[in-house]
Amino acid sequence: MDFDPISIEGCAYDQIKSAVQKSTEIIESVRINTPSGLATVAYPSTALHEVITNAVLHRDYSIADDIHIRIFDNRVEVLSPGTLPAHITPENILNERFARNGAIVRLINKFPNPPNKDVGEGLNTAFNAMREMKLKPPVVSQDGGYVKVILKHEALATPDELILDFLKTHDQIRNKEARDICFIGSENKMKRIIQTMIANGLLELVPGKTRYTAAYRLSRRRGK
């Protein structure tokens, strides 16, 4: 409630473009306290674009209401009028497909530089973008008469935490597996993280492995 609500109007194509631009402008004006001092809030632009596009294209147009974009210090909420269509639920929304407004989706996709360039991949793309930026994935829910998607400015667990969680249910972990769960592309970067965990007594090298088959397990000295 920093200022009066802003209305974005026009055709669906223009609504998406203008809403993303204005939301990004407002988000970039937000400052939050961090251990290093005040910092600018940042979300992956792809995630914001895909969530807003999804809200405009898949809302229930039989309901006389607006899409609401709420921007807070620690999250962005996008509320789209209507319930999830057909068999779609918050749990299966990334894997199932059902277009409530199929004609709108197809027509928008024919525009130059369409906002739904990869039809059917919108929320999947948003989830991947948040992970790549090391932020927790979007939260999708049915909130009364709206479908709500929340983008939280909340970091994923540290690589150390993710590796230790993995080893709660697995006997060992290899560099590639660690990179996959931590969303780290560099083998050398992951090697440095693992070496630090070994030096801190959290991990140890699994005996009998070569440099090409190296795997790591919880240190037998851990907790002593």
Tens of pLDDT along 175-221? 999 988 887 889 999 999 999 999 999 999 999 988 889 999 999 87
Q: 94 vs 77, which has greater pLDDT?
A: 77
**pLDDT tens by residue, 51-89:** 999 999 999 999 999 999 999 988 999 999 999 988 999
User: What is the average pLDDT score of the chain?
Assistant: 90
Confidence of residue 126 (pLDDT cuts 50, 70, 90): very high
- CB-based burial, 114-143: b 16+ in 10 Å, e otherwise: bbbeeeeebbebbbbbbbebebebbebeee
Q: 155 vs 198, which has greater pLDDT?
A: 198
Tokens of 125: 């793309």
For residue 83, what is the DSSP state?
A: P
Examine domains 12-152 and 159-218 and report if their fold is the same: no
- Could you tell me which CATH number the domain at 159-218 has? 1.10.10.10
Q: Let me know the angle formed at the C-alpha of 144 by 137 and 28, rounded to the nearest 5 degrees.
A: 40
Q: 130 vs 121, which has greater pLDDT?
A: 130
d(CA 149, CA 138) in angstroms, rounded, equals 6
For residue 74, what is the DSSP state?
A: S
- Residue 81, CA distances (Å) to 16, 21, 87 in order: 15, 21, 17
Confidence of residue 38 (pLDDT cuts 50, 70, 90): confident
- CA 65 vs. chain centroid, Å, equals 26
Looking at residue 182, its pLDDT comes to 84
CATH T-level assignment (fold) for domain 12-152: Heat Shock Protein 90 (3.30.565)
Taking Cα atoms as reference points, which of 88, 90, 83, 35 lies closest to residue 59?
Answer: 83
- Each domain of the chain, given as residue ranges in start order, spans 12-152, 159-218
- Residue 86, CA distances (Å) to 51, 89, 98 in order: 19, 9, 7
Q: What 3-state class would DSSP assign to 69?
A: strand
